[in-house]
Structure 1
Amino acid sequence: MPRMNESATDAEAFWAFSLEVYAKPQVAELCIALQDEYGFDVNLLLLGLWVAEMQRKALDAERICELREAVAQLNDNLVHPLRRARRWAKPSDPVAETPRHKIYGALKQVELEAERLVQAEMVETLAAGLQRGGETPTPQAAARASLERYRQSIEAPDSATAPLAQLIVKALPWPVLPGSARAAPHP
């Protein structure tokens, strides 16, 4: 069963990448805005970034549709209801410790585990056919291609293009070139 172990390892790597990228300045805010304003799935955004960073490959439109279908039931029946409950239970006073804080914290933990399950399912689905398409010159170019195809697949308006570009810049910054104090231009 090396295939299963490989998928489990990839799922762990994707989860670790997601936690690292999501903690970068402005990434969480951009992801949540894209989710709430345009209907993007944060895990699919992160997957597009991960594949771009790790393999310099872009997800094609067919793969994006397969990924969305693979996790639709998990999102509809688990993640989205948990998110709604967590947001509803969020305490209005972040300082005062109340029973509502405990419920909020517990819901947040369960929601994170549900998100992790979604990511594992995405990695499993992705493993079946990532070989499509060639490498791109940079991770940023691959991410740009993936996220634009995703935007088109959910028919998000053109106004989503700017926050997607900002997400790529914040999540996958251009490396500083040796001997240079400047980073390469933003995608």
Structure 2
Amino acid sequence: MSLEHVTISLTLERLWQFSLQYYSVREVKDACLSLQNNFHGNVNLLLLLKWLDEQQVSFHEEDWHKVQQCLSRSEALLHSYRELRKHLKHHVSDSLYREALQFELQLEKQQQSDLVDCMNTLPLDTNYHEPLVLRYCRLLGGESLYSAFAEPAPNIANQ
């Protein structure tokens, strides 16, 4: 089949709302955390890939490095902050810990913004091949987690 160039309407708010609702599915959340903690995967990238899969859209194979590169700006900061927050969990009040979680969410949203900006610069095609999420899980060695992501996302308004 020939590739069909497509245009999508990807905005930070659209991806963020999709992510919040999709991540709220217990099996998805558990699989995301496993991908992050056991396979060093990036949850925001996985959520973007799932959104693209839902749109039946893909970027070119040679652009994977660009997508990975756009994460580099925020990944080290987010990882360091996450480790600090986990360490503080048993040493600070619940309210301070909740504030730390909220700040981490803001860092996550900034990372999604970086991903959206990057994605909106790439040529996109209709995806006639395997899902991007499956390719990402396989790349990380976590293909067994794919079953948690294989189902279509719950009907989420304003996708």
The alpha-carbon distance between structure 1 residues 167 and 151, as it changes in their structure 2 partners (threshold 3 A), is: closer
SS at match of 1:14: helix
TM-score, with structure 1 as normaliser: 0.70
Q: Determine the structure 1 residue equivalent to 2:35.
A: 34
Q: What is the CA–CA distance in structure 2 between the aligned matches of 1:49 and 1:34, rounded to whole Å?
A: 14
2:140 aligned to which of 156, 159, 179: 156
User: What is the RMSD of the two structures over their aligned residues, measured on CA atoms?
Assistant: 2.5
Q: Do residues 124 (structure 1) and 124 (structure 2) align?
A: no
Q: Identify, as 1 or 2, the structure richer in strand.
A: 2
SS at match of 2:86: helix
SS at match of 1:58: strand
1:172 aligned to which of 143, 153, 157: 153
Q: What is the CA–CA distance in structure 1 between the aligned matches of 2:59 and 2:131, rounded to whole Å?
A: 8
Q: What is the CA–CA distance in structure 2 between the aligned matches of 1:130 and 1:110, rounded to whole Å?
A: 33
Q: What aligned pairs does 1:80-91 form with structure 2 within 5 A after superposition?
A: 80-91=79-90
Q: What is the CA–CA distance in structure 2 between the aligned matches of 1:111 and 1:24, rounded to whole Å?
A: 20
Q: What is the CA–CA distance in structure 2 between the aligned matches of 1:27 and 1:59, rounded to whole Å?
A: 23
Q: Do residues 134 (structure 1) and 126 (structure 2) align?
A: yes
Runs of 5+ in structure 1 lacking a partner? 1-5, 92-97, 137-141, 175-187
Percent sequence identity is 24
Ranges of 4+ aligned residues in structure 1 off by more than 3 Å: none
2:133 aligned to which of 143, 147, 150: 147
SS at match of 2:126: coil
Runs of 5+ in structure 2 lacking a partner? 1-7
CA contact (8 A) 2:53 2:133 kept: no
Write the deviation string for residues 133-176 of structure 1: whole angstroms up to 9, x where unpaired: 3244xxxxx7x521233245xx422xx1121232222x6369xx
Equivalent residues, number: 148
For structure 1, which segment, 37-46 or 101-110, has the greater mean C-alpha deviation from structure 2 after superposition? 101-110
TM-score, with structure 2 as normaliser: 0.81
- Between 1 and 2, higher relative CO (CA 8 Å, sep ≥ 6) is seen in 2
Q: What is the CA–CA distance in structure 2 between the aligned matches of 1:87 and 1:61, rounded to whole Å?
A: 35
- How far does residue 25 in structure 1 lie from its aligned partner after superposition? 2.4
